[in-house]
Structure 1
């Protein structure tokens, strides 16, 4: 209501202002018009101006501009007088009635005001205020506190984290007591900064090392050829002389030996080879520095369940069809029972796949028929697609009647959901003798077999409760992508290994390809942290989601209700339910 009243007052002022403005323009235009007429008459007349001026005065008195303007201005003034009162009514400037008459401690108030200036980085203003307040000692103490902060902030603007790192290191214990991971987060930024710069520098260093090896190799190669050519040349000369001479070869051989000693091939080659060896020794060290093979510092020390790990490895071999390797592994792992169970599962799959390679669909058709209901529950049309291949295979042989008979026998049950595809297959019957030249030639493509083979593998694994991709392959591939940034981080965080190993999440973000992203990730909007098993996402009664720790903190561990930061609805923590993605 007060805002509406204030708006009405403002509208009245605006309206009266507009009326006054229009009236002023109207009267002014009338006066200008009368004066212009009088001037025009006086310019065209030779008589004195007295009569014209008297006439002008008379007309202006008739216009009575002051009287006309007075009314509009008066109404505007009344509106302007009322508007501040309306403002004052809404925004009462008199705050004296809202506080008690308390005697404040002036030095403390001065320090609070100065602290505000220093917090904003307004050190000169703060100094001036404190000086005028005659509290110079407090100024020095407070300024030094906040100057250190702003030095760190200014340094961070230019991406210099050294001051912040020093401060965090000096206050490490206090930060831990407060449950803050600030020190790690600053190290995180420094790590990313080094990674951005270091990757390029390391690549250049590695390239320089390789170039040195290549250069020394080239020098050694050239020197070897040069010395070899010289030796061959001397030997060829000696042979030529000996062939044209009837004397004994002793003198020529002695001369050849002397010349070869002068050439000193070993001494000439030794220097170049030595430099090459030095470069070759240094290059692996440079490689090791960039591609550090020691991954122990980048993983947590977790005790694995050996039988499960063995089954995962064996399962990988069986998935690849390496049954002998899998059997050998399981036998050496002394887990023969698991070997029999796992082998039998995947042997059936590979029997079907091997048969399909030779264009035999019978095993696949039998398996699909036996699992028809389960495939339908999964929304898979695999059975129809196998029948599709079999139908085209029969038609390719030129047996139209047999293909039609096969279609009548096997396609009827799929007509309800796949009529369009069945009609397309029936259209093939018209081109049975020239299918490769027909509009349905794409049905002969070998890729159709590859697609069905992949779908068969996928559905087979699905019905077994197994993933399509080998868990071992996915784990290793994801690890290959994730290890480099972790190794880089640990190189920066020397001696800090145990600091992040106790965490429930990685110390740095690791970007993996979409193929390794198997589920959604929830980040709590309150703490800005990713949910974990110990801190899962919780659905509140209002429909919004927070992490469990945030709910516990806001509800004082369930002792009171709290308001949802979105709605805000009153939330009872006991009614929150865990979400599982």
Structure 2
């Protein structure tokens, strides 16, 4: 069978009443529906009429599906004959099937070594870093090594409930942490954790007055100080004493001990969760200060590829669509949607809301004090006329040229 024969068979189906879906549907509407209506109006039992009509609908459905099956078969034959008559480019097929090992080129291998070395350095695994430096031509700079050691030392201190190194770091970099457009709340949360760990109420209030009163405008400091005057654990203990006593009071004591034990476990869990949160907050601010990426790029890649299942979906698409779309490494866009968690949805393109132009390396996005973002060229145009600050196009807040921060997407 060639293309002309396949097309002739398809045209024959179009002129045949047996394979047309309109024939059974017209018969259902014009004959069976009208007949059922007339019988019901004539006084016949509606239940019997509706039952017969349902049978006719099912018969019509089968006739339509039978006709569509013939159409699908004829369309498939046409597609096969088109593929035979117009063979694809053999060069494109060989290129699509060629699948050299990953990171085989010198540039790709060097990039992979750099990412691994950076990840090991950020984690402070210095023996592995030294081994990588010996095996590759790359090196981890002394300045980065010192910063990574400082980061790991403070994080380990937070894990062990020693917040003093983190507080000293915040005091040293207080100007950066308090600078607009988004001042950091890390110092307050560190002081809050220390405050809650002080058992003596007077000492706790004294600590708050010395270290936390500057956060009153933005944080619930007064509410926190007031809350320490009420000890919930003592209240529960006193209210439980005598509950359910049967002469000896043994049941009340047992219940009281169980409640105290549960409270201690809850407090311990809350403490661990708070320390974990402080670790993440500190690492984020530390990386922001030194202009490091917020997260380890190797960790993000492994998490999305393995636990997120992204590599499985791409590999399946490569097998199914590789012959038509070419080598997967040359795809500019994925041919399917890959579900990602909100924290992993990165925006690589920014369009300035003022100029309606896409940002580039020479025209990067800049964030104003108020949090709105515009392109650098739009920001510079607003600075014309000798102005020292720019009024945001969307709100009345002004931003000086030295405060505007470049964003990296």
Per the normalisation by structure 2, the TM-score is 0.51
For the 8 Å contact 1:428–1:435, the answer to whether it is kept is no
Q: CA deviation at 1:514?
A: 1.7
Separation in 2, partners of 1:304, 1:324: 25
Q: CA deviation at 1:302?
A: 6.3
State how many pairs are aligned.
265
Q: 1:362 to 1:540 in 2, by over 3 A?
A: closer
Q: 1:424 to 1:503 in 2, by over 3 A?
A: same
Separation in 2, partners of 1:165, 1:298: 34
Tell me which residue corresponds to 1:387: 191
Tell me which residue corresponds to 2:85: 170
Separation in 1, partners of 2:110, 2:277: 35
Separation in 1, partners of 2:310, 2:204: 53
Q: 1:122 to 1:305 in 2, by over 3 A?
A: closer
1:486 aligns with 2:287: no
For the 8 Å contact 2:318–2:328, the answer to whether it is kept is no
Q: CA deviation at 1:169?
A: 5.5
For the 8 Å contact 2:351–2:357, the answer to whether it is kept is no
Tell me which residue corresponds to 1:505: 333
For the 8 Å contact 2:123–2:148, the answer to whether it is kept is no
Correspondent of 2:112 among 292, 301, 309: 309
Q: CA deviation at 1:339?
A: 4.1
For the 8 Å contact 2:103–2:112, the answer to whether it is kept is no
Matches within 5 A, 1:268-347: 296=99, 304=107, 306-336=109-139, 338-347=140-149
Matches within 5 A, 1:219-258: none
Q: 1:163 to 1:501 in 2, by over 3 A?
A: farther
Separation in 1, partners of 2:121, 2:70: 57
Correspondent of 1:519 among 346, 368, 380: 346
- SS class of match (1:359): coil
Correspondent of 2:221 among 411, 422, 439: 422
Separation in 1, partners of 2:185, 2:171: 12
Separation in 2, partners of 1:311, 1:505: 25
For the 8 Å contact 1:298–1:486, the answer to whether it is kept is no
Q: CA deviation at 1:470?
A: 1.7
Q: 1:450 to 1:499 in 2, by over 3 A?
A: closer
Tell me which residue corresponds to 1:110: none
Correspondent of 1:448 among 250, 274, 282: 274
Per the normalisation by structure 1, the TM-score is 0.38
Unaligned runs of 5+ in 2: 1-9, 18-67, 237-262, 359-407
Separation in 2, partners of 1:438, 1:307: 63
- SS class of match (1:416): coil
Q: 1:366 to 1:305 in 2, by over 3 A?
A: farther
Separation in 2, partners of 1:539, 1:346: 38
Matches within 5 A, 1:558-569: none
Which gives a bigger RCO, structure 1 or 2 (Cα 8 Å, sep 6+)? 2
For the 8 Å contact 2:191–2:211, the answer to whether it is kept is yes
1:356 aligns with 2:151: no
Q: Deviations over 1:524-562 (max 9, x none)?
A: xxxxxxxxxxxx989898x799xxxxxxxxxxxxxxxxx
Separation in 2, partners of 1:368, 1:386: 9
For the pair shown, which has the larger CA radius of gyration, 1 or 2? Answer: 1
For the 8 Å contact 2:188–2:215, the answer to whether it is kept is yes
Q: 1:373 to 1:298 in 2, by over 3 A?
A: same
Q: CA deviation at 1:414?
A: 0.8
For the 8 Å contact 1:478–1:512, the answer to whether it is kept is no
> Considering only aligned residues, what root-mean-square deviation do their CA atoms show, in Å?
4.7
